[in-house]
Amino acid sequence: MNSKCASLTAAWSEPGYIAVLMTPFSSSGEIDRDAVRANLSRLERLSVVRGVYVGSVYQQFTALTLAERFWLAEAAVAWAEEHGCETVVAASANALPEARALAEHASDIGATATMVWPPLFGERTPDAVTDFVEAVCETRPEQPVCIYSSGLDEVGFHIKPPQLQEILERCANVVAVKEASLTLGGYLAMLRTCGDQVAVSSPLEEYHLVGKLLEPDIAPGVLLGSSRVLYADVYCDHPCERYVAAIREADWDGAWTAAKEILDLAEAVHNPFLARGGHSLAAARELFREAGFDIGAARPPLRDLPPSKAEELRQAAIRSQPARVGG
């Protein structure tokens, strides 16, 4: 592992969130660039956000052209450099040349790390996916790389610990894995198998906390690819700030209190969709809108929630926090 990669691995031992972004469009269907910049600026209000993850599911990356993805990455990196934040830029594509172009661009513009995804379709055996990932990692061997492993049907391919171990043996610039099996057993298996070599990061506080309790010497501080941090404060009392502060002080009771509020909210508005195998971008957009982000217009095939469904979501979020409702 080169010095740049080793430095990032060490930095991610400190707690904090790398938040997702979304893509607002104008009524004519173009990216609303002013809204993108405004949304980046709004992240400054969230003191526990240490960086942004560009090109996640929430950004509707499958509906974007390569040129649009390049611009979004450039806008995020420019903002992050100005504010001392980190950027993780996804190189996700079914065509290997496109994935390599995205990885090359991310490195060239100064992204902190590149997120390498398995392809979404095609002949995706473990050996074939490992070859694909290695080819993308080799695009810029000096660039730190994160590996995306998901148990969700919509995105794809669940990289399990033995396969990640092989990837690590072949790719010296891998520094982290975003572990999204959505099972505690899967997360702990990855942490215990590979956590002494790379940062095994879950974006979910309840898994993150268990990792810090059971494997304090190897569990990272960073929560990579969080959407919750963007909207939790609307319905809870700054739980992400309290969670990070508690983790930093090894205050496990305080950490669980904050995590429980966040989890209750997620169970009401987000987890039911994940349980069916995928994200609801329409629901997420509504949550982000409630939090003050400019969601713009939706680009087809995505449609926004009808007003009645948006109100149902808002009421479910409110009911998830009985202490605040009662107060």
Cβ pair 171, 134 in contact under 8 A = yes
C-alpha span between 298 and 39 (Å, rounded): 16
Phi first, then psi: give them for residue 194, nearest 5 degrees.
-125, -5
* Cα dist from 318 to 29, 233, 287, 293, 311, whole Å: 32, 12, 12, 19, 11
pLDDT at 204: 96
The single-letter code of the amino acid at 230 is L
pLDDT digits (tens, 9 = 90+) for 145-203: 999 998 777 776 899 999 999 999 999 999 999 998 889 999 999 999 999 999 999 99
Tokens 């904050």 — which residue? 258
Q: What is the percent of the chain with per-residue pLDDT over 70, rounded to a whole number? A: 97
Shortest CA distance to 102 belongs to which of 130, 74, 60?
Answer: 74
Per-residue pLDDT band at 326 (split at 50, 70, 90): very low
Task: List the one residue out of 271, 309, 265, 310 whose CA is nearest residue 289.
Answer: 310
Amino acid at 128: A
- Please state, in angstroms and as integers, the Cα–Cα distance from residue 117 to each residue in 139, 307, 316, following that order: 14, 35, 33
Chain segment 262-291, per-residue pLDDT in tens: 999 999 998 787 777 678 889 999 999 999
Contact 161, 190 (CB under 8 A): yes
Cα(198)–Cα(207) distance, integer angstroms: 17
How many CA atoms within 13 Å lie on the side-chain side of 193? 18
Q: What is the pLDDT of residues 201-212, one digit of tens each?
A: 999 999 999 999
At 294, list the tokens: 């400019």
Peptide bond into 119 cis (omega under 30): no
pLDDT digits (tens, 9 = 90+) for 291-301: 999 999 999 99
Q: Are strands 16-20 and 145-150 parallel, antiparallel or unpaired?
A: unpaired
Q: How far apart are CA 53 and CA 241, in angstroms?
A: 19
327: pLDDT strictly greater than 70: no
Handedness of CA 203, 95, 283, 39 (dihedral sign): positive
Query: Averaged over 207-218, what is the pLDDT?
Result: 97
Question: Which domains does the chain carry?
Answer: 3-229 (3.20.20.70)
CB atoms < 10 A from the CB of 324, how many? 12
All residues at 6 or more sequence positions from 273 whose CB lies less than 8 Å from its CB, including other chains: 279, 280, 283
Average pLDDT (56-66) is 94
Is residue 325 very low, low, confident or very high in pLDDT (cuts 50, 70, 90)?
A: low
Q: Where do runs of H (alpha helix) occur along the chain? A: 3-11, 33-42, 66-83, 96-108, 126-137, 161-170, 184-194, 205-214, 228-235, 239-248, 252-269, 271-275, 281-290, 307-319, 322-326
Tell me, what's the pLDDT at 291? 95
